[in-house]
Structure 1
Amino acid sequence: MSQWGTLIPLILMFVVFYFFLIRPQQKRQKERTSMLNSLKKGDKVITIGGIHGKIVELTEDRVTLKVSENTRLVFERSAVNSVVSEDEPSSEENK
């Protein structure tokens, strides 16, 4: 009976870790993968470095962003942090 007394706190601790740490992280990773797979030309994005741009070319592993009239930058697809929705004003519209 004392064996169960020592195992129950360990099991409860694992359950707490799973629901508060592991499961939310897996959900965020799945959402990020889905977002990266759904990128398309014309999307306005923000990179992990904070660069805002519009996708002008897209391959399986690279993204080319137009950041100004004459400037295009090439990034790994995984460097895209988020897609800017059309509801949010971009830096170009504020000028």
Structure 2
Amino acid sequence: MFSTIVLQADAGSLMSILPFVAMIGVLYFFMIRPQMNRQKKEKTFQAEIKKGTKIITTSGIHGKIIEIHDADNTLTVETGAGRMKFERSSISMELSKKLAPVAVPAKK
């Protein structure tokens, strides 16, 4: 009789933990993993930035990169008002990629 009580308690506790494990799995695949992929793409973009690239910063400032300082990981950006120095991590996107038109398939 005692062994049946112990076996019933184990099965119940396992079934009560299962939804939490499932929620953690869903959270990982729908929230954490896509964020990690986005961060990886952003890091490669920031590493491949070249002089003369038109960019948009995270604060919304548009400009053109005129100098790259690898020693302190900064960029000098020329804006309409003058020149500004930014951290490489503050570059959000390349302006030409944002303005690129979407390709529409031709009708036959």
TM superposition score category, shorter chain reference: 0.7 to 0.9
Which structure dedicates a bigger proportion of its chain to strand? 1
Query: Runs ≥4 in structure 1, deviation > 6 angstroms?
Result: none
| Distance of 1:72 and 1:15 partners within structure 2 | 47
| Distance of 2:63 and 2:77 partners within structure 1 | 5
Q: By how many angstroms is 1:88 displaced? A: 2.1
- 1:42 equivalenced with 2:52 (yes/no): yes
TM-score, normalised relative to structure 2:
0.74
| Distance of 2:24 and 2:90 partners within structure 1 | 33
| Distance of 2:20 and 2:41 partners within structure 1 | 30
Higher RCO (CA 8 Å, separation ≥ 6 residues): 1
- 1:80 equivalenced with 2:95 (yes/no): no
Aligned residues: 88
| Distance of 1:17 and 1:87 partners within structure 2 | 30
Larger CA Rg, structure 1 vs 2: 2
SS in 1 for 2:28: helix
Q: CA RMSD in A?
A: 1.8
Q: By how many angstroms is 1:3 displaced? A: 2.2
Which structure dedicates a bigger proportion of its chain to helix? 2
The answer for the alignment partner of 2:14 in structure 1 is 4
Q: By how many angstroms is 1:87 displaced? A: 7.5
| Distance of 1:87 and 1:39 partners within structure 2 | 15
TM-score, normalised relative to structure 1:
0.83
Structure 1: any 5+ residue segments left out of the alignment? 90-95
The answer for the alignment partner of 1:71 in structure 2 is 82
What whole-Å deviation, never above 9, does each CA across 1:40-95 have from its counterpart, x for those lacking one? 10110001111111101012210101113x72111111111111126828xxxxxx
